[in-house]
Protein backbone atom coordinates (compact mmCIF):
# COMPACT_ATOMS: atom_id res chain seq x y z
CA UNK A 1 0.00 0.00 0.00
CA UNK A 2 1.21 3.53 -0.67
CA UNK A 3 2.39 5.69 2.19
CA UNK A 4 -0.54 8.05 1.63
CA UNK A 5 -3.04 5.20 1.69
CA UNK A 6 -1.51 3.70 4.80
CA UNK A 7 -1.62 6.95 6.78
CA UNK A 8 -5.08 7.82 5.49
CA UNK A 9 -6.47 4.41 6.47
CA UNK A 10 -4.91 4.55 9.92
CA UNK A 11 -6.36 8.02 10.54
CA UNK A 12 -9.72 7.00 9.15
CA UNK A 13 -9.80 3.98 11.47
CA UNK A 14 -9.09 6.10 14.55
CA UNK A 15 -11.59 8.81 13.60
CA UNK A 16 -14.31 6.27 12.78
CA UNK A 17 -13.78 4.59 16.14
CA UNK A 18 -14.03 7.97 17.89
CA UNK A 19 -17.17 8.91 15.96
CA UNK A 20 -18.78 5.53 16.70
CA UNK A 21 -18.04 6.04 20.39
CA UNK A 22 -19.67 9.48 20.27
CA UNK A 23 -22.74 8.19 18.49
CA UNK A 24 -23.21 4.97 20.44
CA UNK A 25 -21.85 6.10 23.81
CA UNK A 26 -23.83 7.86 26.54
CA UNK A 27 -21.96 11.13 26.07
CA UNK A 28 -23.89 14.37 25.54
CA UNK A 29 -22.49 17.87 25.34
CA UNK A 30 -24.58 20.81 26.63
CA UNK A 31 -24.09 24.42 25.65
CA UNK A 32 -22.26 25.85 27.47
CA UNK A 33 -20.41 22.59 28.26
CA UNK A 34 -20.31 21.31 31.80
CA UNK A 35 -16.99 20.74 33.52
CA UNK A 36 -17.42 16.91 33.62
CA UNK A 37 -18.31 16.89 29.91
CA UNK A 38 -15.16 18.85 29.04
CA UNK A 39 -13.14 16.40 31.15
CA UNK A 40 -14.63 13.42 29.31
CA UNK A 41 -14.01 15.06 25.91
CA UNK A 42 -10.39 15.86 26.77
CA UNK A 43 -9.85 12.28 27.94
CA UNK A 44 -11.43 11.01 24.71
CA UNK A 45 -9.20 13.30 22.66
CA UNK A 46 -6.14 12.04 24.51
CA UNK A 47 -7.12 8.43 23.77
CA UNK A 48 -7.64 9.28 20.09
CA UNK A 49 -4.24 11.02 19.87
CA UNK A 50 -2.43 8.17 21.59
CA UNK A 51 -4.10 5.61 19.33
CA UNK A 52 -3.23 7.72 16.29
CA UNK A 53 0.42 8.09 17.36
CA UNK A 54 0.74 4.35 17.99
CA UNK A 55 -0.78 3.46 14.64
CA UNK A 56 1.35 6.01 12.81
CA UNK A 57 4.47 4.63 14.48
CA UNK A 58 3.44 1.19 13.27
CA UNK A 59 2.69 2.55 9.79
CA UNK A 60 6.03 4.36 9.49
CA UNK A 61 8.13 1.55 10.99
CA UNK A 62 9.59 0.48 7.62
CA UNK A 63 10.81 4.05 7.05
CA UNK A 64 12.47 4.02 10.44
CA UNK A 65 14.23 0.74 9.65
CA UNK A 66 15.40 2.24 6.40
CA UNK A 67 16.75 5.36 8.12
CA UNK A 68 18.61 3.22 10.64
CA UNK A 69 20.10 1.11 7.86
CA UNK A 70 21.14 4.26 5.97
CA UNK A 71 22.94 5.74 8.95
CA UNK A 72 24.72 2.57 10.06
CA UNK A 73 25.68 1.12 6.73
CA UNK A 74 29.40 0.36 6.27
CA UNK A 75 30.49 -0.62 2.80
CA UNK A 76 33.51 -2.44 4.21
CA UNK A 77 31.28 -4.74 6.23
CA UNK A 78 28.52 -5.91 3.92
CA UNK A 79 25.51 -7.14 5.86
CA UNK A 80 22.11 -8.53 4.95
CA UNK A 81 19.78 -6.29 2.97
CA UNK A 82 16.50 -4.89 4.31
CA UNK A 83 13.50 -7.05 3.47
CA UNK A 84 11.31 -5.44 0.80
CA UNK A 85 8.11 -7.40 0.31
CA UNK A 86 4.87 -6.24 -1.21
CA UNK A 87 4.11 -3.03 -3.11
CA UNK A 88 3.91 0.64 -2.37
CA UNK A 89 6.26 3.57 -2.00
CA UNK A 90 8.10 2.34 1.10
CA UNK A 91 8.82 -1.05 -0.43
CA UNK A 92 9.95 0.68 -3.59
CA UNK A 93 12.19 2.96 -1.55
CA UNK A 94 13.75 0.00 0.26
CA UNK A 95 14.24 -1.82 -3.02
CA UNK A 96 15.93 1.24 -4.56
CA UNK A 97 18.11 1.63 -1.50
CA UNK A 98 19.17 -2.03 -1.73
CA UNK A 99 20.02 -1.63 -5.41
CA UNK A 100 22.01 1.51 -4.66
CA UNK A 101 23.87 -0.37 -1.95
CA UNK A 102 24.71 -3.20 -4.36
CA UNK A 103 26.07 -0.67 -6.83
CA UNK A 104 28.07 1.24 -4.21
CA UNK A 105 29.58 -1.97 -2.86
CA UNK A 106 30.51 -3.11 -6.34
CA UNK A 107 32.06 0.27 -7.17
CA UNK A 108 33.92 0.39 -3.89
CA UNK A 109 35.18 -3.13 -4.61
CA UNK A 110 36.38 -2.09 -8.08
CA UNK A 111 38.19 1.00 -6.86
CA UNK A 112 39.76 -0.89 -3.96
CA UNK A 113 40.92 -3.57 -6.37
CA UNK A 114 42.40 -0.93 -8.65
CA UNK A 115 44.11 0.91 -5.78
CA UNK A 116 45.52 -2.30 -4.35
CA UNK A 117 46.84 -3.52 -7.68
CA UNK A 118 48.48 -0.14 -8.31
CA UNK A 119 49.97 -0.33 -4.82
CA UNK A 120 51.30 -3.84 -5.40
CA UNK A 121 52.78 -2.81 -8.76
CA UNK A 122 54.44 0.22 -7.17
CA UNK A 123 55.84 -1.90 -4.34
CA UNK A 124 57.20 -4.35 -6.87
CA UNK A 125 58.86 -1.52 -8.79
CA UNK A 126 60.42 0.04 -5.68
CA UNK A 127 61.60 -3.40 -4.50
CA UNK A 128 63.11 -4.08 -7.90
CA UNK A 129 64.91 -0.76 -7.93
CA UNK A 130 66.16 -1.17 -4.38
CA UNK A 131 67.48 -4.59 -5.25
CA UNK A 132 68.89 -3.82 -8.67
CA UNK A 133 70.16 -0.26 -8.22
CA UNK A 134 70.92 0.46 -4.58
CA UNK A 135 71.75 -3.17 -3.79
CA UNK A 136 74.14 -3.48 -6.74
CA UNK A 137 75.85 -0.18 -5.93
CA UNK A 138 76.36 -1.17 -2.32
CA UNK A 139 77.71 -4.54 -3.40
CA UNK A 140 80.17 -2.71 -5.65
CA UNK A 141 81.17 -0.47 -2.71
CA UNK A 142 81.71 -3.56 -0.55
CA UNK A 143 83.92 -5.17 -3.19
CA UNK A 144 85.90 -1.93 -3.58
CA UNK A 145 86.40 -1.68 0.17
CA UNK A 146 87.58 -5.26 0.26
CA UNK A 147 90.07 -4.61 -2.52
CA UNK A 148 91.65 -1.61 -0.79
CA UNK A 149 91.53 -3.21 2.67
CA UNK A 150 94.90 -4.90 2.19
CA UNK A 151 96.64 -1.75 0.96
CA UNK A 152 95.62 0.71 3.67
CA UNK A 153 97.97 1.47 6.54
CA UNK A 154 97.50 -0.49 9.76
CA UNK A 155 95.90 2.36 11.76
CA UNK A 156 93.12 2.92 9.17
CA UNK A 157 92.30 -0.77 8.91
CA UNK A 158 89.98 -0.91 11.95
CA UNK A 159 88.04 2.10 10.71
CA UNK A 160 87.76 0.59 7.25
CA UNK A 161 86.45 -2.66 8.63
CA UNK A 162 83.84 -0.66 10.54
CA UNK A 163 82.76 0.98 7.27
CA UNK A 164 82.60 -2.46 5.64
CA UNK A 165 80.41 -3.73 8.46
CA UNK A 166 78.03 -0.76 8.19
CA UNK A 167 77.81 -1.20 4.43
CA UNK A 168 77.09 -4.91 4.83
CA UNK A 169 74.29 -4.34 7.35
CA UNK A 170 72.82 -1.57 5.16
CA UNK A 171 72.81 -4.01 2.27
CA UNK A 172 71.05 -6.60 4.45
CA UNK A 173 68.48 -4.01 5.52
CA UNK A 174 67.82 -3.02 1.92
CA UNK A 175 67.37 -6.66 0.92
CA UNK A 176 64.98 -7.09 3.82
CA UNK A 177 62.95 -4.03 2.83
CA UNK A 178 62.82 -5.24 -0.76
CA UNK A 179 61.65 -8.66 0.41
CA UNK A 180 58.94 -7.11 2.53
CA UNK A 181 57.78 -4.95 -0.37
CA UNK A 182 57.64 -7.80 -2.81
CA UNK A 183 57.24 -11.21 -1.25
CA UNK A 184 59.30 -12.96 -3.94
CA UNK A 185 59.13 -16.27 -2.09
CA UNK A 186 55.38 -16.14 -2.50
CA UNK A 187 55.72 -16.36 -6.26
CA UNK A 188 58.66 -18.72 -6.21
CA UNK A 189 58.01 -21.08 -3.32
CA UNK A 190 54.38 -20.55 -2.40
CA UNK A 191 52.36 -19.27 0.51
CA UNK A 192 53.61 -21.58 3.26
CA UNK A 193 57.28 -20.81 2.58
CA UNK A 194 56.52 -17.09 2.38
CA UNK A 195 54.68 -17.21 5.71
CA UNK A 196 57.52 -19.20 7.28
CA UNK A 197 60.03 -16.59 6.07
CA UNK A 198 57.80 -13.80 7.39
CA UNK A 199 57.46 -15.49 10.80
CA UNK A 200 61.19 -16.12 10.98
CA UNK A 201 61.96 -12.50 10.14
CA UNK A 202 59.53 -11.17 12.76
CA UNK A 203 60.86 -13.54 15.45
CA UNK A 204 64.40 -12.53 14.61
CA UNK A 205 63.90 -8.78 14.73
CA UNK A 206 61.29 -8.38 17.45
CA UNK A 207 61.01 -9.69 20.96
CA UNK A 208 58.18 -11.99 19.99
CA UNK A 209 57.74 -15.73 19.58
CA UNK A 210 55.76 -16.68 16.50
CA UNK A 211 54.14 -20.11 16.90
CA UNK A 212 53.34 -21.37 13.42
CA UNK A 213 50.86 -24.04 12.57
CA UNK A 214 50.14 -24.75 8.92
CA UNK A 215 47.89 -27.51 7.62
CA UNK A 216 49.70 -29.76 5.19
CA UNK A 217 46.68 -30.55 3.03
CA UNK A 218 45.74 -27.02 1.99
CA UNK A 219 43.95 -26.81 -1.34
CA UNK A 220 45.63 -24.93 -4.17
CA UNK A 221 44.75 -21.26 -3.90
CA UNK A 222 44.53 -18.51 -6.50
CA UNK A 223 47.59 -16.24 -6.68
CA UNK A 224 45.39 -13.31 -5.71
CA UNK A 225 44.07 -15.17 -2.66
CA UNK A 226 47.60 -16.14 -1.61
CA UNK A 227 48.71 -12.52 -1.84
CA UNK A 228 45.76 -11.39 0.30
CA UNK A 229 46.49 -14.09 2.91
CA UNK A 230 50.14 -13.05 2.94
CA UNK A 231 49.45 -9.31 3.22
CA UNK A 232 46.88 -9.82 5.99
CA UNK A 233 49.30 -12.03 7.95
CA UNK A 234 52.00 -9.41 7.41
CA UNK A 235 49.82 -6.54 8.67
CA UNK A 236 48.65 -8.58 11.68
CA UNK A 237 52.19 -9.50 12.69
CA UNK A 238 53.38 -5.92 12.18
CA UNK A 239 50.49 -4.69 14.32
CA UNK A 240 51.36 -7.24 17.00
CA UNK A 241 54.96 -6.02 17.06
CA UNK A 242 53.97 -2.35 17.02
CA UNK A 243 50.93 -2.22 19.30
CA UNK A 244 50.24 -5.43 21.20
CA UNK A 245 53.12 -5.68 23.71
CA UNK A 246 52.73 -9.43 23.29
CA UNK A 247 55.15 -12.23 24.09
CA UNK A 248 53.66 -14.84 21.76
CA UNK A 249 51.62 -14.87 18.63
CA UNK A 250 49.97 -17.85 16.92
CA UNK A 251 50.03 -17.88 13.16
CA UNK A 252 47.68 -20.59 11.92
CA UNK A 253 46.64 -21.51 8.41
CA UNK A 254 44.18 -24.37 8.21
CA UNK A 255 41.37 -25.87 6.21
CA UNK A 256 37.93 -25.76 7.79
CA UNK A 257 34.61 -27.05 6.43
CA UNK A 258 33.84 -23.47 5.31
CA UNK A 259 37.15 -22.83 3.57
CA UNK A 260 40.73 -21.86 4.30
CA UNK A 261 41.26 -19.92 7.49
CA UNK A 262 44.12 -17.70 8.52
CA UNK A 263 44.26 -16.92 12.21
CA UNK A 264 46.66 -14.57 13.96
CA UNK A 265 46.21 -14.48 17.71
CA UNK A 266 48.51 -12.62 20.10
CA UNK A 267 48.57 -12.57 23.89
CA UNK A 268 48.97 -8.81 24.10
CA UNK A 269 46.92 -5.99 25.53
CA UNK A 270 44.04 -6.23 23.05
CA UNK A 271 42.47 -3.62 20.79
CA UNK A 272 40.76 -1.67 23.58
CA UNK A 273 38.88 1.24 22.07
CA UNK A 274 41.48 2.02 19.45
CA UNK A 275 40.29 3.36 16.12
CA UNK A 276 40.85 1.36 12.97
CA UNK A 277 43.60 2.81 10.82
CA UNK A 278 44.80 2.32 7.27
CA UNK A 279 46.19 -1.10 8.17
CA UNK A 280 42.93 -2.69 9.30
CA UNK A 281 40.93 -0.87 6.61
CA UNK A 282 43.39 -2.27 4.05
CA UNK A 283 42.82 -5.76 5.43
CA UNK A 284 39.06 -5.31 5.10
CA UNK A 285 39.42 -4.09 1.52
CA UNK A 286 41.65 -7.01 0.60
CA UNK A 287 39.23 -9.46 2.22
CA UNK A 288 36.30 -8.00 0.27
CA UNK A 289 38.33 -8.29 -2.90
CA UNK A 290 38.43 -12.08 -2.72
CA UNK A 291 35.04 -12.52 -1.03
CA UNK A 292 36.61 -13.52 2.27
CA UNK A 293 35.34 -12.71 5.75
CA UNK A 294 37.56 -10.80 8.16
CA UNK A 295 36.80 -10.72 11.87
CA UNK A 296 38.73 -9.00 14.63
CA UNK A 297 38.17 -10.00 18.19
CA UNK A 298 39.82 -8.94 21.37
CA UNK A 299 39.07 -9.15 25.04
CA UNK A 300 41.05 -7.72 27.94
CA UNK A 301 43.65 -10.25 28.97
CA UNK A 302 43.25 -12.47 25.93
CA UNK A 303 44.97 -10.40 23.28
CA UNK A 304 43.80 -9.77 19.75
CA UNK A 305 42.60 -12.35 17.30
CA UNK A 306 42.23 -11.75 13.58
CA UNK A 307 40.57 -14.38 11.40
CA UNK A 308 40.33 -14.37 7.66
CA UNK A 309 38.07 -17.02 6.19
CA UNK A 310 38.42 -17.62 2.48
CA UNK A 311 35.32 -19.51 1.33
CA UNK A 312 35.87 -22.59 -0.78
CA UNK A 313 35.02 -20.62 -3.95
CA UNK A 314 38.29 -18.66 -3.63
CA UNK A 315 40.30 -21.80 -4.21
CA UNK A 316 41.84 -22.48 -7.54
Ligand X SMILES: Nc1ncnc2c1ncn2[C@@H]1O[C@H](COP(=O)(O)OP(=O)(O)OP(=O)(O)O)[C@@H](O)[C@H]1O
Contact positions vs ligand X (CB under 6 A): 239-240, 242-244, 266, 268-271, 274, 276-280, 304
Pattern of binders to Mg ion over 107-126, x per CB under 5 A? --------------------
In the set 95, 138, 279, 296, which binds Mg ion (CB under 5 A)? 279
Distance CA 81, CA 69 (A): 9
CB of 112 to ligand X, least distance (A): 15
- In the bound state with ligand X, the residue whose beta carbon lies nearer, of 182 and 243, is 243
CB of 50 to ligand X, least distance (A): 48
- In the bound state with Mg ion, the residue whose beta carbon lies nearer, of 101 and 232, is 232
Please report whether residue 304 would count as binding Mg ion according to CB under 5 A. no
Comparing every residue's Cβ against ligand X, the nearest one is 279
Residue 271: contacted member of ligand X, Mg ion, none (CB under 5 to 8 Å, by partner type): ligand X
- In the bound state with Mg ion, the residue whose beta carbon lies nearer, of 23 and 278, is 278
CB of 238 to Mg ion, least distance (A): 6
Q: Phi then psi for 4, rounded to 5 degrees?
A: -60, -50
- In the bound state with ligand X, the residue whose beta carbon lies nearer, of 191 and 239, is 239
Residue 220: contacted member of ligand X, Mg ion, none (CB under 5 to 8 Å, by partner type): none
Please report whether residue 239 would count as binding Mg ion according to CB under 5 A. yes
CB of 307 to Mg ion, least distance (A): 17
CB of 283 to ligand X, least distance (A): 8
Stretch that binds Mg ion, among 45-53, 174-182, 255-263, 278-286 (CB under 5 A): 278-286
Q: Hey, which bits of 159-290 come out as E strands?
A: 209-214, 248-256, 259-266
CB of 67 to Mg ion, least distance (A): 34
- In the bound state with ligand X, the residue whose beta carbon lies nearer, of 219 and 277, is 277
315 by DSSP, 3-state: which? strand
CB of 207 to ligand X, least distance (A): 15
Residue 243: contacted member of ligand X, Mg ion, none (CB under 5 to 8 Å, by partner type): ligand X
Task: Render the chain in DSSP notation, one character per residue.
Answer: --HHHHHHHHHHHHHHHHHHHHHHSS----SSPPHHHHHHHHHHHHHHHHHHHHHHHHHTHHHHHHHHHHHH--TTS--PPPP--SSSHHHHHHHHHHHHHHHHHHHHHHHHHHHHHHHHHHHHHHHHHIIIIIHHHHHHHHHHHHHHHTTS-HHHHHHHHHHHHHHHHHHHHHHHHHHHHS-HHHHHH-HHHHHHHHHHHHHHHSS-EEEEEE-SSPPPB-HHHHHHHHHHHHHHHHHIIIII--SEEEEEEEEETTEEEEEEEE-SS--TTPPP-HHHHHHHHHHHHTT-EEEEEE-TTS-EEEEEEEEGGGB-
**Which residues here bind Mg ion, judged by CB under 5 A?**
239, 279
Amino acid sequence: MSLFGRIFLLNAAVLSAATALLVLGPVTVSTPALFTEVLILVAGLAVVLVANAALLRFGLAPLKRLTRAMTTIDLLRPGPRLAAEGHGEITELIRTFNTMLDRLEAERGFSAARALSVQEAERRRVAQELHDEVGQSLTAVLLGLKRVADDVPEQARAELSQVQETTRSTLDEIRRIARRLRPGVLEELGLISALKALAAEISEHADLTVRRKFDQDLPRLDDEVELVLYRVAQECLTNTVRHARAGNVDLVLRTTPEGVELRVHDDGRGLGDSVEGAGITGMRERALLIGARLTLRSAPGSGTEVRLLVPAAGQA
